[in-house]
Amino acid sequence: MARRALGLSLTDRALPYLLLVPALLVGGVVLVYPLVNGILLSFTSYTFIQPQYKWIGVRNFASLFKDPIYWEVLLNTVTLTFSAVILQLALGLALALLLNSSIPFRGGFRGGVFFIWIMPEIVAALIWMIMLNSEFGILNFLLQWLGIAKHNVVWLGRPLEAKASLIMVYAWRGTPFFMVMILAALQTVPSTIVDASKIDGANAVQRFFVIIIPYIRDIIILCCLLSVVRLFQDVTQVTILTNGGPIYSTTTLAVHVYKQAFVGLQMGRAASVGVTWLIFLFVLAVFYIRLVTKGEFRK
Amino acid sequence: MTGTTDANRPGRQRHWAAWEWLKVTFRRYHLERWVFLAATLVLVVVLLFPILWMVRISLTPDHLLFVLPPQGVFRNINLAGYIGLFSRIKIGRFYFNSVAVAFGTVLTCVFSGTLAAYSFSRFKYRGRNTLMVITLSAQMFPWAMLIISLYILYIKTRLLNSHIGLILAHSTFALPLTIWIIKSYFDTIPRELEESAFIDGCSRMRTLLSIVLPLTTPGVLAAAIYVFLFSWNDFLFGLTLTTTDRMRTLAPGITMKFIGEWEYHWVDMMSTSISITIPVVVLFLFLQRYFIEGLTAGALKE
């Protein structure tokens, strides 16, 4: 009896840790190890042909910061990500507000648009590759038919147009996410407050800025953060649509790391680009964790 | 001075009257509903156009493929793209690999994720906060960099080109999300429920399995859906961590086929794309509620 009681209290104290064991095993082996190893790699001259951890100090970083391509890539990442997120927010917010009114088929519209977000990335990329084809693509035809463009636009073959295409595809993919999240947040706005403001004579614009925005502000910030994270990670869509080109005009940080490692076979150098990414990560993570865990840790 | 205001007044009044009239008519016939509906329709049609176009291309006969403006959209239907799926393009093996990897990933994540989520939600202990922070920021780790180390590790441990290797890789990236979704469901279940079970003599594990878990089924389901989607939709890990056609999953498999060998086989490209998308559509049609719940779980707690 006494032994059983002791055993119970011991397992009770160890239980929270025991429950974590499977997750730690998976996460530790394939998440923490690659991260630490990646940081180590960035200080070595590891290549595919000479796979040795030969320590070369900060030489990778020194040559990186002197490389104009690196700065171009950094600028591309910021430009593409932020333009796309702004478009996603504008479109997603508009759709959410429309679907929050009393129009018919709301569920159908929401489901249809949400589908864009859950379809495989590769399918989205292939569709757009076909639509953006400069000779036979439907987009050029539609633009001319509507009188917006006069000639065929070379979407993926010129620096500026290629950037615009990617921003368009990103915005298209991410809008449903904003829509669903903001719509869910809008439904938490108490109708009594909205009704009261109507009685007090507030018009739609005032209502939007004074009542609705404060209610959905946190969700909007969260969506923007998550979307930035997602776009930072994207290699697939860039690879399929432009392969980072023409020249380096659509190469983002993620694509640069991936291509240096698996096309240039310079693992060490690639890792050093990845390490500079961790600085961005740190800033984003601080915001994100504060937002998601409001009061969580003090519970 | 007075002259100008006098001259302005009738015009302004007429303007004002027109505005009033508009407002009254809008209210009487609920016109704003129609304006909203029209705006929504336009937006939705524009957004869904690429998907309709994918379906259209997959059914177009070869001789009409590059004809603009599009002709014979409804009259000429060509099913060759779908008939050739398993014979000409040989995606059967890719399908098998994708299904095996996706199910393996879902099982791994749901098992380890549920236990970890329960631990985070119900206990206070040293290291809990640190681990939760790591969980939350894990999705921001640079994947492209992690893949390099995984690749090197997999070569050493012979996990390269294996289902287990891919399952592990997918799990790591889907696990943080699983833990977070399920934890937010655990958080909503009152502790009193468990305490009454303890008093009745249930052990911790027993309580988890027979009292808490049944109540969290929607959360587990929502998490499982996202893990499945992540694994099914993945391109990058599949591309990097497999090296032969036999082990490739769908997304990298078909891409390797089309980009390069079959550059302008648009019909096959689109019919194959649709065939990869169908499992996602089926899941979505039956479980739409959980898709949306999973997405907003945690974010909209308070």
Residues 108-167 of B with CB under 8 A from A: 108, 111-113, 115-116, 118-119, 122-123, 125, 128-129, 131-134, 136-153
Contacting residues of B for A289, CB less than 8 Å apart: 133, 136-137
Higher pLDDT, B74 or B219: B219
Instruction: Please check the confidence at residue B87 and state whether its pLDDT lies above 60.
Output: yes
CATH of the domain spanning A80-265, picked from 1.10.10.10, 3.40.50.720, 1.10.3720.10, 3.30.565.40: 1.10.3720.10
Pair B33, A102: CB distance under 8 Å: yes
Residues 10-49 of A with CB under 8 A from B: 11-12, 15-17, 19-20, 22-27, 29-35, 37-38, 41
H/E stretch holding B166 reads helix B163-187
Instruction: Report how far residue A56's alpha carbon sits from residue A35's, in angstroms, rounded to the nearest whole number.
Output: 19
Contacting residues of A for B142, CB less than 8 Å apart: 38, 233, 253-254, 257, 274, 277-278, 281
Q: Which of B274, B55, B81, B53 shows the shortest CA–CA distance to A132?
A: B53
Q: Can you tell me the mean pLDDT for A5-26? A: 72
Instruction: Please check the confidence at residue B4 and state whether its pLDDT lies above 70.
Output: no
Contacting residues of B for A20, CB less than 8 Å apart: 115-116, 119, 131
Residues with Cβ within 8 Å of A81's Cβ and at least 6 positions away in sequence, in order, are A228, A231, A232, A252
Question: Which residues are A44's β-sheet partners?
Answer: A55
DSSP annotation of B302: -
Contacting residues of B for A267, CB less than 8 Å apart: 148, 152
Q: Can you tell me the mean pLDDT for A25-35? A: 84
Instruction: Please check the confidence at residue B104 and state whether its pLDDT lies above 90.
Output: yes
Over the stretch A243-296, which tens digit does the pLDDT of each residue have? 877 888 889 888 999 988 888 888 888 888 888 888 877 888 888 877 777 655
- pTM for the full predicted model: 0.86
Q: Which ipTM score applies to this complex?
A: 0.84
The reply to whether B262 touches chain A by the CB within 8 Å rule is no
- What dihedral do alpha carbons B280, B89, A121, B263 form, nearest 10°? -150
Contacting residues of B for A122, CB less than 8 Å apart: 233, 235, 251, 254-255, 273, 276
Over the stretch B116-170, which tens digit does the pLDDT of each residue have? 988 888 888 888 888 888 888 887 888 888 888 888 888 888 888 888 989 998 9
Alpha carbon of residue B283 to chain centroid:
11
Decide if B51 and A26 are in contact by the 8 Å CB cutoff.
no
Pair A155, A134: CB distance under 8 Å: yes
Instruction: Report how far residue A283's alpha carbon sits from residue A269's, in angstroms, rounded to the nearest whole number.
Output: 23
Q: Which of A215, A276, A206 shows the shortest CA–CA distance to A93?
A: A215
Q: Which of A42-56, A220-234, B67-81 has the lowest mean pLDDT?
A: B67-81
Question: In chain A, where are the structural domains located?
Answer: 80-265
> Is the dihedral angle over the CA atoms B262, B263, B265, B266 positive or is it negative?
positive
List the single residue in A145, A261, A288 with the smallest CB-CB distance to B136. Answer: A288
> What are φ and ψ of residue A55, in 5° steps?
-65, 125
Over the stretch A67-119, which tens digit does the pLDDT of each residue have? 888 999 999 999 999 999 999 999 999 999 998 887 888 888 888 898 898 89
**In chain B, what are the domains?**
2-84 (no CATH), 85-296 (1.10.3720.10)
Contacting residues of A for B298, CB less than 8 Å apart: 292
Query: How far is the CA of B158 from the CAs of A25, B152, B241, B289, in angstroms?
Result: 18, 10, 11, 41
Instruction: Report how far residue B268's alpha carbon sits from residue B59's, in angstroms, rounded to the nearest whole number.
Output: 9
List the single residue in A27, A254, A292 with the smallest CB-CB distance to B175. Answer: A27
pLDDT, position B261: 58
Instruction: Report how far residue B271's alpha carbon sits from residue B267's, in angstroms, rounded to the nearest whole number.
Output: 6
List the single residue in A33, A236, A278 with the smallest CB-CB distance to B236. Answer: A236
DSSP conformation letters of B36-73: HHHHHHHHHHHHHHHHHHHHHHHT--GGGTT-SS---T
Decide if A37 and B204 are in contact by the 8 Å CB cutoff.
no
Higher pLDDT, B73 or A261: A261
DSSP conformation letters of chain A: -HHHHHHHHHHHHHHHHHHHHHHHHHHIIIIIHHHHHHHHHTTB---SSS----B-TTHHHHHHHH-HHHHHHHHHHHHHHHHHHHHHHHHHHHHHHHHTSS-TTHHHHHHHHHHHHHS-HHHHHHHHHHHT-TTT-HHHHHHHHTTS-SS---TTTSHHHHHHHHHHHHHHHHHHHHHHHHHHHHTTS-HHHHHHHHHTT--HHHHIIIIIHHHHHHHHHHHHHHHHHHHHH--HHHHHHTTT-STTTT--HHHHHHHHHHTS--HHHHHHHHHHHHHHHHHHHHHHHHHHTTTGGG-
pLDDT, position A84: 95
H/E stretch holding B134 reads helix B128-137
Instruction: Report how far residue A237's alpha carbon sits from residue A126's, in angstroms, rounded to the nearest whole number.
Output: 9
List the single residue in A38, A103, A118 with the smallest CB-CB distance to B149. Answer: A38
> What are φ and ψ of residue B48, in 5° steps?
-90, -5
pLDDT, position A294: 67
- State percent of chain B over pLDDT 90: 12
Q: Can you tell me the mean pLDDT for B210-216? A: 83
> What are φ and ψ of residue A44, in 5° steps?
-120, 170
User: Six-digit token pair at A186?
Assistant: 């809008």
DSSP conformation letters of B171-238: HHHHHHHHHHHHHHHHHTS-HHHHHHHHHTT--HHHHIIIIIHHHTHHHHHHHHHHHHHHHHH--HHH
Q: Can you tell me the mean pLDDT for A205-228? A: 85
pLDDT, position B302: 39
